[in-house]
Amino acid sequence: MSTPLTGPLPARPSEWNVDLASDVPAQIGPRRPRPQRTWFRWSLASLPVAPLLLLGMLLGPQGLFILTPSALAALDPALPVALATLGGLVGLMPGLQGPLRRALGTASMTALVTALFVAAGFMAGAMATGEQSRVFVWLLPLVLGISAASSLIVPVQRLVNPWAGPTATAESEALVSVIAGGLLLAFVRQGTFVWSVLWLFQACAVVTVLGLSGFLMLRRSASDAERRVFAVATLLLVGGAADSLSFSALLGGVCAGLLWKAGGGPSRDSLQRDMLYALPPLLALVLVVAGARVQLTSLALGLAAAYACLRTLGRVAAWALLTRFGPRGTRSGGLSLLSPGVFGIAFALNAFRALGSDMSIAISVVVVGTILSEVTALFVTPRGGAA
Amino acid sequence: MNRVVALVLTAAAVMWARAIGGSAPFASAGTALVLGFALLGAWLTGDLLKRFRLPQLTGYLVFGAVVGPYLGNVINVSMAAQLQFVTGIATTLIALIAGLTLNIERIGTRLSPIARTTAAALAVPIVGLLAIGWLVWPWLPIAPEATGIARLAMLVPIVLIVVSFSPTMTAAVMAEAKARGRLGDLVLAMAVIADLFLLVLFAACLQGTRAVLGTAADQGVGPFLARIAWEIGGAMAFGALVGAVFALYLRYIGREMSLALLGLCALLSQAGSAQQFEPLVAAVAAGFVIENLAVMQGDSVRRAVREGAPPVLVVFFVAIGVSLRLDAVATMGLIALALVCIRIGLVWVGVRVGVRMSGLDEPSARYAWTGLISQAGITLGFTSVLAAEFPGWGERAQLLIVGSIAMHELIGPMVFRYALTRVDSGAMAPRPMVVVSNREPYVHTATDGHISVAAASGGVAVALDALMRERGGVWIAHGSGSGDRAVVDPFDKVMVPPEKPMYSLRRLWLEESMFAAYYGGMSNEGLWPLCHVVDVRPTFRAEDWQAYQDVNISFARAIHQELGESDAPVFLQDYHLTLVAPELRRLRPSAKTALFWHIPWPYPDRLRICPWRRDILTGLLANDLIAFQLERDRRNFLIAVEEELGAEVEEEASRVFFDGRHSTVVSVPIGVDFDRFQALANDPALPAEQERLRGLLGLRAPIIGVGVDRLDYTKGIPERLAALDALMTARPDLRGRLTFVQIGIPSRSSLETYAAVEGEIAGKVAVLNAKHAVAGAPPLVVLSTSLLDAFSLTALYRLADFCVVSSLHDGMNLVAKEFVAARDDEQGVLVLSELAGAAQELEDALIINPYDVEGFATVLAQAIEMPAAERTRRMRAMRKVVAGRNVFSWASDILEGLESIWSKPLLYSVHAWEERSV
């Protein structure tokens, strides 16, 4: 075995793929702080959602025109891959035991109440203004309702610590909204419930088969380079299949993630590691692209303000219901879910990719609404209670 | 089988998706799916071809051609168009990598001959093709009606495209063949320089063609020059700016480097087309700036390239394969074939002329042209530009050129690989090297007029000897044997090993007083205690330091003399030779040296004890590569050079910039010859040897422990004896049932500190045996000062129930690893000091602190009473570690590391494709 050297060799296998700067053997003598790499940091758990959205708006066609429409079109193929990666991590979450099982019921309730609040509000608004179009009367409200239903940034904490409780409700909300979103997109595509379900099964089967083939490849990978190629190919296949089927890439990712979790072993670990590595920049890309796609019209701004208000009201209502009827141990922390996270934006983009330019208004509304909700959450969220 | 099933599943799922997909709202909806399919399929095809000793790249191309629209149609025309999305990023990435190869410091001395060769290799084909093209133009299906200046305006860009090369293909084939010889280096450098030149020339020439054919937006000389200035100058300025910004990103953020690199390529590609300047020139400029201005981050970039490039480049080659117009080959096959033959012939002539002009060596002259056959990204990029700019004749020219690219692409990698194989004595065979150590690998001893020879038995000496047998070269060492002078030739050399001479041993004669001051004084009374945190005060004397300097200079001069015209790498061993590199570099600035520091490196406060620490640090930094056993030693060294010398340290890249040059600092834990110990352990004569040892050492007790050390104050032998004392006191039931064999080889006995520790150990053993004696039972401790050979040592290891390594401070300690290597019965317990470097790797040993005598005794009891299942589990885990890091891979890792410092980033980018763990 020979290893070309470009730096220190890890002293033992357990040190591989970890940040050596934080996991070095005890050093004799004083260790000086490293001056570099402290200016700008992000992590999966603390992705700066609103600033990245604002950055996208700044760089986009309505801002500095650096992200031109053609540049945005060139970046489009990366979006379903990012969404599938996000969904894959949801699928890879530890099983529905302990906190998550308890949280699922709570999450279903909070997500449902919030989604209903937002969707009903927009439907009522559309009807009140005499709007006739199918998009504004029911499709947009439902997309916005589902986008508003979750509060999670990235399902990463419990991948590291399976029993980390505080994010369980948010994770479950994400799961519920991903499934609901998948069903909605299938229904819009097929028109009837039965055909939607049948088609959904087929689409899920396609992405699951692709996920399986990647998984099998990874089981026999002979080198780091090969492993990386297979992992990238697998994510491309899963995201790409969902995109070409106009199916929810998030749900496709969840299906594949569940399969990988069931398969276990080094393939799962490898995929999880590569997904966690690639996700922050991919999500940053998603947020910047979403920001750049915003069209700052008066209609969009008005709807966004309404979205933020309805979402906040929905959250408060859900929290009130939870406090009154929720199971013990899940009654606290409802307001900590005010911060919208990235799943709402992810679903809006998903809907845009699957349903076409009709949904471009949804992106504008969700993006601006998310920024407003983030600002609201800054003032309302109890200290230390962020999801 | 898994792979076949997976590929079938993938193909089925892709077809299924196509069947149920219907129309998606966006044209790009299937792009990611196609990319994933292409990546997976191409990789597997490449892997398949590799089994038939064909280049993997050919596999990627073949896969693309087979599934592409002109044959299998699995990837249809619209899907193929989606694949081209990657092409822009990939060609920019290739250009960026080309820029990263342009390190002024590295190629400075070789630039002139390479440039001359390249100039000829370009000039001859350009002139030749221009002449032939002009003559046969009326018969070419491009624009036969064109005459005069219009014909020339069309012909020149076509010729430039036809001549262009493919650095990526060249580097990829070299990486596949693991070639590191002059041929590969020459060809790669030529391809990069030639394509850079062609890039600029093509951009300028395109402007001329536009002006002549009247398609330029601005007519006239002024606008023409302004446009060229913008396309080239603007691209360079933009690229330099982006490169500088990226360097800042590297320094202050430095995260997700591979993705950031691909983002950079996407930015250059997009900005280039949006702002009407040449993105490839911008990418080269960016790479050049990163490589030469952000020197400290250079390795980070290379690592990012190695990690991020393979998927992109695989898809890129598939895209090339998909776009290979097999229909063009069919329609323009004969003309394309003629073009291929003429081009190859002219390249051959050009390279011959160039090599003759520059005086490069003969194998390169004979075979360099083979590496210039392949064409890929840049050529395709040029043709795309031509077709887009000049619909009509440009498209017809594209058809012809793409037809010829298909042929070049299929034969180029195979021919170049064949050439590398033919020149393998220079390119792929191991290169001779120079090993320098204080101690020699073979000692000749004169006894009663008879001269006998003995090989050094230490693990490092054995490994280096094996490496020298494989590579050949010269080993320079101090001649210490009484018969050494009698066997050397007039140049103080003798061929070794005696039974089958394979390399030279050059002996250096040192006066006894000088040797005593250099070795006993400075090395072992100064540096050794300085680097080991034990209760022995280092002694530094000016006369020792002077002798140390003089001896190091003598070694450097001997190396210089032995190297002659060769550029063989020099591998220096240990702390005795810290000042060799600066003197050697003074004599020979281009020398390639690596030094392995076998002992610990002191933390900064302790290092300050040494009055000549700055000279030592400066001396070490004159090496290209400095290797330590442990990560903590490497870090302590980096802190030391930063604090003491103010050297610029890039910690992540592990490089130091000092005195105008770079040194790479790595940690490479040394191992043992695992297979040798395995073989010895399975020798049928082993039981007999064990019986002999039982008799010799009086090993009648049912429980046997062992310790094997030089009698050195760093080994913690008194502490070990104290722990045995405590154990016996606490567990009197063990008296008479346990014998501990301490093999203690006297070492450096002339030094006071060593003599003292020898006396202390002997005294303690006597006291211990008397204190815990049981009538009729064997003694508690057996101290043997006889050196055991490897076979006897293995037999002893296999006799022992446990082995104790209780160093107070140790660089690595190979006894721990030898014990593990010898125990293929998966029995035996290793008790290991946490202050020995081996403890960093052997986590399943029982770890002790030798200063905690009670705790040490408790662990000894645990070792004696450990259940068999746990012993097996621990030993099995440790054996995996020791087997995976043997002494041969240690040595070759360091040498490969030294050589890779001089290899090109392109090699890094493609070498990753071939990585296979064993």
Interface test mutation site (partner A, options B8, B14, B33, B78, max chain A beta carbons within 10 A): B33
- B251 vs A36: CB contact, 8 Å cut-off? yes
pLDDT at A12: 30
C-alpha count within 13 angstroms, C-beta hemisphere, residue A271? 37
Chain A positions touching B653 (Cβ under 8 A) are 6-7
pLDDT at B329: 65
Chain A positions touching B892 (Cβ under 8 A) are 2
Q: Which residue of B has its CA nearest to A206?
A: B13
Chain A positions touching B311 (Cβ under 8 A) are 228-229, 232-233
Residue type, A10: P
Please state, in angstroms and rounded to a whole number, the distance separating the CA atoms of residues A24 and B885: 19
* Whether A331 contacts chain B with CB within 8 A: no
- B36 vs A210: CB contact, 8 Å cut-off? yes
Q: What is the CA radius of gyration of chain B?
A: 33
pLDDT exceeds cutoff 70 at A249: yes
pLDDT exceeds cutoff 50 at A17: no
Question: Are B721 and B707 in contact, with CB atoms under 8 Å apart?
Answer: no
Classify B436 as helix, strand or coil. Answer: strand
Measured in angstroms, the CA of A329 and the nearest CA of chain B are apart by 39
User: Which DSSP category does B123 fall into?
Assistant: H
- B3 vs A220: CB contact, 8 Å cut-off? yes
C-alpha count within 13 angstroms, C-beta hemisphere, residue A107? 26
Q: What digits encode the pLDDT tens for the residues B751-773?
A: 778 888 888 898 999 999 999 98
pLDDT exceeds cutoff 50 at B53: yes
Question: Are A301 and A68 in contact, with CB atoms under 8 Å apart?
Answer: no
Please state, in angstroms and rounded to a whole number, the distance separating the CA atoms of residues B437 and B427: 28
Percent above pLDDT 90 for chain B: 27
Predicted-complex ipTM score: 0.80
Query: CB under 8 Å to B271, separation ≥6 — which residues?
Result: B238, B279, B282
As a whole number of Å, the end-to-end CA separation of chain A is 46
Percent above pLDDT 70 for chain B: 85
Measured from the Cβ of residue B244, the count of other Cβ atoms closer than 10 Å reads 15
Predicted confidence band at B215 (pLDDT cuts at 50, 70, 90)?
Answer: low
Which of A84-88, A356-360, B418-422, B796-800 is the least confident region? B418-422
Predicted confidence band at B637 (pLDDT cuts at 50, 70, 90)?
Answer: very high
B535-542: average pLDDT: 91
- A219 vs B24: CB contact, 8 Å cut-off? no
- Mean pLDDT across chain B: 82
Interface test mutation site (partner B, options A42, A237, A267, A359, max chain B beta carbons within 10 A): A237
Q: Could you tell me which residues are beta bridge partners of residue B452?
A: B445
pLDDT exceeds cutoff 70 at B655: yes
Of B18, B24, B915, the CB nearest to A224: B915
Of A37, A77, A223, the CB nearest to B916: A223
- B893 vs A5: CB contact, 8 Å cut-off? yes
Chain B positions touching A76 (Cβ under 8 A) are 26, 28, 31
pLDDT exceeds cutoff 80 at B656: yes
- A20 vs B30: CB contact, 8 Å cut-off? no
pLDDT exceeds cutoff 80 at B131: yes
* Whether A29 contacts chain B with CB within 8 A: yes
- B39 vs A12: CB contact, 8 Å cut-off? no
Phi-psi region of A17 (alpha: psi -120 to 50; beta: other; left: phi over 0): left
- A217 vs B916: CB contact, 8 Å cut-off? no
A79-97: average pLDDT: 81
pLDDT exceeds cutoff 80 at B685: yes
pLDDT at B855: 94
Q: Which residue of B has its CA nearest to A11?
A: B841
The token pair at B447 is 């006894």
Of B26, B664, B918, the CB nearest to A1: B918
**Dihedrals phi, psi of B784, to nearest 5 degrees:** -120, 130
B532-536: average pLDDT: 87
Of A12, A81, A202, the CB nearest to B841: A12
- B9 vs A216: CB contact, 8 Å cut-off? yes
Residue B187 or B361, more confident: B187
Please state, in angstroms and rounded to a whole number, the distance separating the CA atoms of residues A267 and A227: 9
Chain B positions touching A230 (Cβ under 8 A) are 40, 43
Q: What digits encode the pLDDT tens for the residues A23-71?
A: 223 333 333 333 333 333 444 445 678 888 999 999 888 888 878 887 7
Predicted confidence band at A95 (pLDDT cuts at 50, 70, 90)?
Answer: low
Interface test mutation site (partner B, options A16, A17, A24, A28, max chain B beta carbons within 10 A): A28
Q: Best-predicted range by mean pLDDT among A156-165, B276-285, B338-347, B650-659?
A: B338-347
* Whether A227 contacts chain B with CB within 8 A: no
Chain A positions touching B847 (Cβ under 8 A) are none
Q: Which residue of B has its CA nearest to A68?
A: B274
Measured in angstroms, the CA of A312 and the nearest CA of chain B are apart by 33
pLDDT at B620: 95
Q: What digits encode the pLDDT tens for the residues B827-877?
A: 999 999 999 989 988 989 999 999 999 999 999 999 999 999 999 999 988
Q: What digits encode the pLDDT tens for the residues B452-496?
A: 888 876 667 877 887 788 778 899 999 988 899 989 988 899 999
Number of cross-chain residue pairs from A and B with Cβ atoms under 8 Å apart? 275
- A8 vs B631: CB contact, 8 Å cut-off? yes
Using alpha carbons, list the distances in angstroms from residue B773 to A203, B568, B800, B853: 81, 60, 21, 21
Of A3, A39, A238, the CB nearest to B893: A3
